[in-house]
Structure 1
Amino acid sequence: MPAEPLLAPGPWQLVFLVVAGAGAGLTGSIAGLASLVSYPALLAIGVPPVSANVTNTVALMGGAVGAAAGSRPELRGQRKRLLRLCAITAAGGAAGSALLLLTPEGAFASIVPFLIAAASVLLLCSPRPAARAGRGGGLTAGTATGAFLVAVYGGYFGAAAGVVMLALLSAAWPQPLARTNAAKNIVTGAANLVAAVVFAVTGPVLWPAAAALCAGLVAGSFAGPAIVRRLPAAPLRIAIALAGLGLAVALGWQAWA
């Protein structure tokens, strides 16, 4: 994949990215849609699409750190199964990042609008309540396979990967939404960690932008779990889904006009 020219963000652009990162962290830790905020923010300051994607992936590690710190009550008692699932999603994240680096730049720009549109439509479909799920709570072959495939997508692009993972774990594990959401943040963070390492070594990361986004993501994702404990997420999911559909149309117009 040919290298893309990288920009040097100015002070106000970095401030903008910190604010956008805080919004992305809040959105990601609640609804799994951090990239629908952070990725467009990078595009808005002029970062090319592939560079924006790898920079965003590196920055999203801040979201995983903040969400883990803010979700400690919900994570109690889930350590064993999460360690196993994290190993699976880490492998999926590695596969997805390799796929991105082997995808031609033009093809990626054309695919992104479809990915965002599909993620936004999916967001409109709320995960099945845990009360209706099966009686299990372990890591079945179906859950492991589904988590691996979601992680491949997360390593490739990642927008709404958290939403898909939340739906998967909600169906597999009958427990309160806040606990499942905390688990989702950890396992998607594992997939993102491997992809971030791959991109940090081989991808066109814009490091000042990644650092600014990461700082905001830590703060926003730390606050998100507290909101999940108290407020229904449905209105937020609908608003973000509509915004995502609008973004998909705009990016599609830019790619194909």
Structure 2
Amino acid sequence: MGSLVGSLAQFATAVYGGFFGAGMGVMMLATLGLTQAGDYHRLNALKNLLAVVIAAVAILVFVSGDVIAWRQAIVMIPGGALGAYAGVWIAKRVPQIAVRGFVVGVGMFLAFYYFTKG
């Protein structure tokens, strides 16, 4: 991250994503879009790399704490992988400005919603 604000925003998103996950990708793209230069595809690749690191850390923590419901996890893992693949496939076919606007808008909405309702 190029700035302290961007690093703090990504850290907060990572902590949220490690525990809850819902909307983390959109929130990460929103913070990256607001704090980083570059095209959407570069930011999406960075988001995917960060998401893998966040997931790996969360998995280690939850496995070591023996708090994983393995039957449900086995069902969810392929669904998550397919959803991630489909998201990248769709994002490559939509104009970058539209995707960036959508991601920032949804990210801001989710941040507002979860901070006021959570």
TM-score by length of 2: 0.70
Q: Which residue of 2 aligns with 1:126?
A: none
Q: Which residue of 1 aligns with 2:35?
A: 172
Paired AA for residue 76 in structure 2: L
Q: Which runs of 4+ in 1 moved over 4 A?
A: none
Structure 2: 5+ residue runs without aligned partners?
A: none
Q: Which residue of 2 aligns with 1:54?
A: none
- Are residues 1:145 and 2:15 paired? no
Instruction: Give per-residue Cα distances to partners, 1:91-128, cap 9 Å, x unaligned.
Output: xxxxxxxxxxxxxxxxxxxxxxxxxxxxxxxxxxxxxx
Q: Which residue of 2 aligns with 1:188?
A: 51
- Give the 3-state SS of the residue equivalent to 1:139 in structure 2: coil
Q: Within 2, Cα distance between the matches of 1:159 and 1:215?
A: 16
Q: Within 2, Cα distance between the matches of 1:158 and 1:179?
A: 21
Q: Within 2, Cα distance between the matches of 1:222 and 1:162?
A: 13
Instruction: Give per-residue Cα distances to partners, 1:199-223, cap 9 Å, x unaligned.
Output: 1121421112211211222233223
After TM superposition, give the deviation of residue 185 of structure 1 in Å: 2.0
- Are residues 1:202 and 2:45 paired? no
Q: Within 2, Cα distance between the matches of 1:211 and 1:173?
A: 35
Q: Which residue of 1 aligns with 2:86?
A: 223
Q: Which protein is bigger by CA-based radius of gyration?
A: 1
- Give the 3-state SS of the residue equivalent to 2:92 in structure 1: helix
Paired AA for residue 198 in structure 1: V
Q: Which residue of 1 aligns with 2:74?
A: 211
Q: How do 1:43-62 residues align onto structure 2 when only pairs under 5 Å count? A: none
- Are residues 1:155 and 2:8 paired? no
Q: Within 2, Cα distance between the matches of 1:203 and 1:185?
A: 26
Q: Within 2, Cα distance between the matches of 1:161 and 1:210?
A: 18
Q: Within 1, Cα distance between the matches of 2:66 and 2:28?
A: 25
* C-alpha RMSD of the superposition: 2.6
After TM superposition, give the deviation of residue 227 of structure 1 in Å: 1.0
**Identity, % of aligned pairs?**
31
Instruction: Give per-residue Cα distances to partners, 1:130-161, cap 9 Å, x unaligned.
Output: xxxxxxxx532222222111111112222222
Q: Within 2, Cα distance between the matches of 1:157 and 1:142?
A: 22
Structure 1: 5+ residue runs without aligned partners?
A: 1-137, 253-257
After TM superposition, give the deviation of residue 189 of structure 1 in Å: 2.4
Q: Which residue of 2 aligns with 1:82?
A: none
- Give the 3-state SS of the residue equivalent to 1:174 in structure 2: coil
TM-score by length of 1: 0.35
